[in-house]
Chain A
Amino acid sequence: DGGITQSPKYLFRKEGQNVTLSCEQNLNHDAMYWYRQDPGQGLRLIYYSQIVNDFQKGDIAEGYSVSREKKESFPLTVTSAQKNPTAFYLCASSDRALNQPQHFGDGTRLSIL
């Protein structure tokens, strides 16, 4: 079955450490996205990529970094510069055609020890 796989489901980080969240899709989608979700709030866009080797900052990119070396993969690194990293992180992908819906993974919950 085609879909988006995020791993791990739960992740713990010590203060001052970088941590990388994995996102893989087998939907053959060109575009991929990372969102952050905080309790009782909507989703906020961190980074997005419309094609391999290209990505753009979203609304809250500070303290995060991404890469897009392969079409299937869009890992997100939460750096030590991100002061409040505890959140639920969601990865999504979509076809490049206009107005296509985004398909979401099941998320990674990041907590600080």
Chain B
Amino acid sequence: KNQVEQSPQSLIILEGKNCTLQCNYTVSPFSNLRWYKQDTGRGPVSLTIMTFSENTKSNGRYTATLDADTKQSSLHITASQLSDSASYICVVTPAYGNNRLAFGKGNQVVVIP
């Protein structure tokens, strides 16, 4: 079964600080790995996408890394802002079969002033 596990489940950080979110997956082989940001009561919005051959991808203050050997990905948020308060979801697309997206449960980030 394709699994995506994220840690920590939740964290609180001070505005301006950095944080790193972790994603471990068992999906193999996979087509791509995305990090989504989901604001409370809203739909997920894609932040980054990486294929198996990519190691890092940035989108402004968000930087995602991927280690396909250890099946781990991380999302680093630099100089956090209050608007970064959200759930960050790791989503893996299998390369074969039904291509059904495998979702993690999300990392709940709260940025406080």
**A interacts with B:** no
Query: Chain B residues in contact with chain A, CB under 8 A?
Result: none
Query: Chain A residues in contact with chain B, CB under 8 A?
Result: none
